[in-house]
């Protein structure tokens, strides 16, 4: 009954405590355990249960179905396409491409506010993932992704990003609950307007536990080294100016840890998500040392018509900077040599609403709105609104 109600984890738990000595019941139990494990994404354990079902009774109506299903699972593990990819093209409209702050009395900001920072453009992306090694529950993959935006009116804000990654994953079960742990290494390079902007080197550890058909929990932690293209201040003769510019060095190391929980409904057609995350930036410049706290929430709903999915994601991000800011007061730029007076605090809200519809030939069309609303206790920095509307078509493929 639990299996028929799609409570696959509950079904496995019940099968394990069965007390029957009847070989027919035992075989049936193993057979349905295998089916439940398939639904939970554990094909290797499912094949083992089906193997045991065939061993218990060599003459049975279940032998044929169990043998075919086991062979299918084994073949799938060996013959799955190792190369997976996606190509995406689309267009966007950005309401604040230059990220100009909100209205303030600072004359420089007031001049910027008079500029038209709306921009339309096109975007393209490519993602490739290749399975290097599959050895039982262990899989090692390598990946590459490319992302590019071309602004119609602000070519110096065009973004180009290349990212390479290498990950190893281990899949097993903990007290019959599917469990996966892994590590991923990545390096990426970002250009802004055809000029070098940022290099990052990251390592992320994660673990995911599927408690049952409804509950999934993921914990993760990692570190990231960030190398921005910075001004070389060592040649500046004036020590006061040199100290001010050095305090604005953004390069450094970011540390992160967080946990996310997902509730699944109707076999995963609908989702609710919540999480918390903590990160800290140990920057080389004192103005960019901060501690961050992020609250995350989201939902996905699959409409009963045409396969349309609606997704909403929200995060609330608090950043508390640890040092007095040497460049800004609450309302304007500080003169060189002026005494710092404020520690910056930033509250940033991000909203993402996405509509997507699957199309034939593994294609998906999507429309997305993203709103970022940032507020700071300084009027000059990180105090802005930005809205981005995107329409795109993606094609997923697999080879080899």
Q: State whether 153 and 28 are in the same domain.
A: no
% of the chain at pLDDT higher than 70: 85
Show which of 78, 107, 138 is a domain's final residue: 78
Q: State whether 176 and 101 are in the same domain.
A: yes
On average, the pLDDT of the chain sits at 85
Given this model, what pLDDT does residue 224 score? 97
Cα–Cα distances (Å) from 34 to 38, 41, 52, 53, 281, in that order, read 6, 11, 10, 9, 47
Q: State whether 60 and 174 are in the same domain.
A: no
% of the chain at pLDDT higher than 90: 50
Confidence of residue 104 (pLDDT cuts 50, 70, 90): confident
Between 361 and 58, name the one with better pLDDT: 361
Q: State whether 67 and 111 are in the same domain.
A: no
Query: Is the predicted pLDDT of residue 271 greater than 60, yes or no?
Result: yes
Q: Tell how strand 195-210 and strand 159-174 pair up.
A: unpaired
Q: State whether 102 and 151 are in the same domain.
A: yes
Query: Is the predicted pLDDT of residue 310 greater than 60, yes or no?
Result: yes
3-state secondary structure the chain: CCCCCCCHHHHHHHHHCCCCCCHHHHHHHHHHHHHHHHHCCCHHHHHHHHHHHHHHCCCCCCHHHHHHHHHHHHHHHHHCCCEEEEEEEEEEEECCCCCCCCCCCCHHHHHHHCCCCCEEEEEEEEEEEEEEEEECCEEEEEEEEEEEEEECCCHHHCEEEEEEEEEEEEEEEECCEEEEEEEEEEEEEEEECCEEEEEEEEEEEEEEEECCCCEEEEEEEEEEEEEECCCCCCCCCCHHHHHHHHCCCCCEEEEEEEEEEEEEECCCCEEEEEEEEEEEEEECCHHHCEEEEEEEEEEEEECCCCCCEEEEEEEEEEEEEEEECCCECCCCECCCCCCCCCEEEEEEEEEEEEEEEEECCCEEEEEEEEEEEEEECCCCCCCEEEEEEEEEEEEEEEEC
Q: State whether 249 and 377 are in the same domain.
A: yes
Residue 247, domain member (yes or no): yes
Report the CATH number that the domain containing residue 324 is assigned in CATH: 2.40.160.40
Residue 209, domain member (yes or no): yes
**Tens digit of pLDDT for each residue in 221-264?**
999 999 998 777 777 777 777 777 788 889 999 999 999 999 99
Q: State whether 61 and 164 are in the same domain.
A: no
pTM, full prediction: 0.80
Q: What is the mean pLDDT of residues 60-87?
A: 65
Instruction: Provide the residue range defining the domain that includes 366.
Output: 84-399
Q: State whether 344 and 272 are in the same domain.
A: yes
Task: List the single range of 103-112, 255-264, 270-279 with lowest mean pLDDT.
Answer: 103-112
Q: State whether 260 and 360 are in the same domain.
A: yes
Q: State whether 170 and 319 are in the same domain.
A: yes
**Tens digit of pLDDT for each residue in 153-179?**
888 889 999 999 999 999 888 877 889
Given this model, what pLDDT does residue 245 score? 79
**Tens digit of pLDDT for each residue in 205-217?**
999 998 887 899 9
Residue 325, domain member (yes or no): yes
Show which of 18, 48, 78 is a domain's final residue: 78
Show which of 18, 47, 78 is a domain's final residue: 78
Query: Is the predicted pLDDT of residue 34 greater than 90, yes or no?
Result: no
Residue 225, domain member (yes or no): yes
Given this model, what pLDDT does residue 175 score? 78
Q: Which of 179, 174, 218, 183 is nearest to 41 (CA)?
A: 179
Q: State whether 128 and 222 are in the same domain.
A: yes
Residue 3, domain member (yes or no): no
Given this model, what pLDDT does residue 378 score? 83
Number of domains in the chain: 2
Residue 2, domain member (yes or no): no
Residue 68, domain member (yes or no): yes
Residue pair 33/68 in contact (Cβ under 8 Å)? The answer is: no
Residue 1, domain member (yes or no): no
Q: State whether 52 and 103 are in the same domain.
A: no
């Amino acid at each position: 009954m639990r299996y028929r109600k799609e409570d696959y984890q509950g079904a496995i738990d019940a099968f394990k405590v069965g007390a029957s000595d009847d070989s027919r019941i035992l075989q049936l139990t193993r057979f349905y355990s295998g089916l439940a494990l398939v639904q939970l994404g554990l094909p290797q354990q499912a094949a083992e249960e089906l193997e045991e079902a065939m061993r218990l009774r060599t003459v049975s109506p279940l032998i044929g179905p169990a043998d075919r299903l086991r062979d299918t699972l084994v073949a799938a593990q060996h013959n799955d396409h190792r190369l997976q990819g996606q190509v995406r093209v689309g267009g966007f409209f950005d309401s604040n491409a230059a990220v100009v702050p909100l209205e303030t009395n600072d004359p420089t900001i007031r001049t910027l506010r008079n500029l038209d920072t709306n921009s339309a453009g096109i975007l393209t992306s490519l993602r490739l993932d290749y399975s290097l090694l599959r050895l039982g529950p262990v899989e090692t993959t390598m990946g590459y992704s490319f992302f590019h935006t071309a602004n119609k009116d602000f070519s110096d804000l065009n973004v180009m990003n290349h990212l390479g990654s290498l990950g190893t994953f281990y899949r097993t079960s903990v007290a019959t609950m599917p469990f996966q742990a892994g590590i991923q290494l990545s390096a990426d390079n970002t250009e802004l307007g055809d000029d070098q902007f940022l290099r990052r080197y990251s390592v992320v550890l994660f673990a995911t536990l599927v408690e049952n058909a409804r509950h999934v929990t993921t914990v993760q932690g990692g570190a990231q080294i960030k190398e921005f293209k910075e001004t070389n201040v060592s040649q500046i003769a004036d020590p006061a100016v040199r100290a001010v510019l050095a305090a604005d060095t953004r390069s450094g190391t970011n540390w992160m840890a967080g946990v996310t929980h997902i509730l699944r409904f109707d076999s995963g057609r609908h989702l609710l998500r919540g999480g918390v995350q903590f990160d800290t930036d140990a920057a080389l410049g004192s103005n960019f040392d901060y501690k961050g706290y992020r609250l995350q929430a989201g939902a996905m709903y699959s409409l009963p018509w045409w396969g349309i999915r609606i997704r909403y994601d929200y995060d609330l991000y608090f950043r508390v900077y640890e040092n007095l800011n040497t460049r800004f007061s609450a309302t304007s730029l500080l003169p060189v040599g002026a005494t710092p007076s404020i520690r910056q605090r930033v509250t940033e809200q991000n909203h993402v609403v996405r509509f997507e519809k699957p199309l034939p030939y593994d294609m998906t069309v999507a429309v997305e709105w993203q709103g970022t609303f940032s507020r700071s206790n300084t009027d000059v920095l990180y105090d802005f609104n930005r809205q981005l509307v995107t329409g795109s078509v993606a094609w997923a493929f697999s080879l080899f």
